Amino acid sequence: MKRAILDRLVADRAADRPVALATDLESGLQSLIYEGDTHGDFVLDSDILATARQALRDDRSAIVEAAGRRIFLQVHNPALRLILVGAVHIAQALAPMARLAGYAVTVIDPRRSFATEARFPDMALLTDWPDEAMERLALDGRTAVVTLTHDPKLDDPALQAALRSPAFYIGALGSRKTHAARLERLRAAGVGDTDLARIHGGPVGLPLGGRSPAEIALSVLAQITTVLHRAGSTQGHAA
C-alpha cells in the first residue's frame, strides 16, 4: 500500500467520509472509491465502481471478480453512533462499553452537575436541550438512541426527535408503568402507533436479570447489538 493511500484513508475515516479501498490481489494496485469519485492509480470500470458503492451501502467487504481480475473491496464506513440522553450512572457504564463495541458515543444532558468531564472522562458531552442537540447531530440509520433521564421534560422531546430520524434503535429506560405513561403522553402529543412501536422500553434491554447500572448497560448494549444484526444491513437509511 502506498503511504499516500494510507494517509488519505486515515483522513477519510477522521472526517467520517464513507470510502471503499479496492485492491487488485494480483498486482497489489489500489484505489479509493467514494460515492462521487475515485482516487488512486488503479483504473476501475463502471461495473466495479457500482459494486463498490453497493458494498458501501451494504457495509460489507468482499472479493469481486471482473475481467479475469480478483479485486478485494474493503469498506470503511463511519463508526456506528450511540446517543445517550441523560448523563446518569447507567450512562457512565454504557458509554465506555459501547465505545469498546465500536460506537462513537455522545452523551447529552443539560443538567451540568451530571454532564461533567469528571464523570465522563474523554467522552463527547453536550449540555444543550436533547431535541436541539439531536437535530444538529443529524441522526442516520447507523445511529442508536437511548434515553436514561427518567425526566419527561428531557426524555420525551428526545424520543420525538429520535422518532423523526431513521435511527436503527431507540430505547427508553423506565419500568413497565413508567413506559406505559410515557407512551400515553407521546400519543397525546400526536405520535402514531407505528412510531411508538419503534421504542424499546418497559423495560429497555434484553432480560439478563441484572439490576446494577453496569448490568443494565450490558443488557441495553446487548439489545442494540441484536437489533443491529437482525436488521441485516444497517445501511439503506444512511444519508
Residues near another protein (CB under 8 A) = 1-3, 6-7, 9-10, 13-14, 16, 23, 25, 28, 60-63, 72, 74-75, 78-79, 99-100, 102-105, 122, 124
Which CB atom, from 62 or from 180, has the smaller least distance to another protein?
62
Which CB atom, from 11 or from 189, has the smaller least distance to another protein?
11
Which CB atom, from 79 or from 208, has the smaller least distance to another protein?
79
Which CB atom, from 14 or from 188, has the smaller least distance to another protein?
14
Which CB atom, from 14 or from 197, has the smaller least distance to another protein?
14
Minimum separation from the CB atom of position 25 to another protein (A): 6
Cβ-contact 50, 4 below 8 angstroms: no
Minimum separation from the CB atom of position 124 to another protein (A): 7
**103-108 and 124-126 beta bridge pairing:** parallel
Which CB atom, from 59 or from 156, has the smaller least distance to another protein?
59
Cβ-contact 83, 98 below 8 angstroms: no
Residue with cell 458531552: 125
Minimum separation from the CB atom of position 69 to another protein (A): 14
Cβ-contact 103, 227 below 8 angstroms: no
What one-character DSSP code corresponds to residue 110?
Answer: S
Minimum separation from the CB atom of position 205 to another protein (A): 22
3-state secondary structure string across 164-225: CCCCCEEEECCCHHHHHHHHHHHHHCCCCHHHHCCEEECCCCCCCCCCCHHHHHHHHHHHHH
Minimum separation from the CB atom of position 89 to another protein (A): 22
For residues 230 and 219, give the distance between their C-alpha atoms in angstroms, rounded to a whole number: 16
Minimum separation from the CB atom of position 196 to another protein (A): 30
Other C-beta atoms lying within 10 Å of the C-beta of residue 37: 8
